[in-house]
Amino acid sequence: MRSPEGKTLSFLFHCVPGTRAQDAWALRVTIPPGATTETEILVDAVGDKSKPIAKGTFEFMGTRVNIVRGKGHLTLGRFMAGIHEKGVWLMRPKHPPIPGALTFG
């Protein structure tokens, strides 16, 4: 598997509607052009008021990604292995686990 040459792909995940503002989150997975299953891809996570999430764990389709200062990493292979599975959560210290979903727009 390889991502398209010359194109960067982004997937946006967002907390479920109705989440309290202080628990809100959004997460973007960015896949660079020509990435292979072994390529490490970037995860950006922000919370309320678009501030980077200091620390947390994004449970993404059965894979856990540690978030530190708004950043995380995983391989394209791990991302693609779980893209069709259900279950997207963000867990942070002193916050309840908040579910989310892949969004389009």
Is residue 3 situated within a structural domain?
no
Amino acid occupying residue 85: E
Is residue 4 situated within a structural domain?
no
pLDDT of residue 79: 87
The total number of structural domains that make up the chain = 1
For residue 9, give the 3-state DSSP assignment.
strand
- Residue 79's domain comprises 9-103
Contact 31, 38 (CB under 8 A): no
Tens digit of pLDDT per residue, the chain (105 long)? Answer: 678 888 999 989 999 888 888 889 999 999 999 999 999 999 999 998 899 999 999 987 778 899 999 999 999 998 888 666 677 889 999 888 999 988 865
Is residue 2 situated within a structural domain?
no
Q: Output the pTM of the full model.
A: 0.85
Is residue 48 situated within a structural domain?
yes
Is residue 1 situated within a structural domain?
no
CA 85 to chain CA centroid, nearest Å: 14
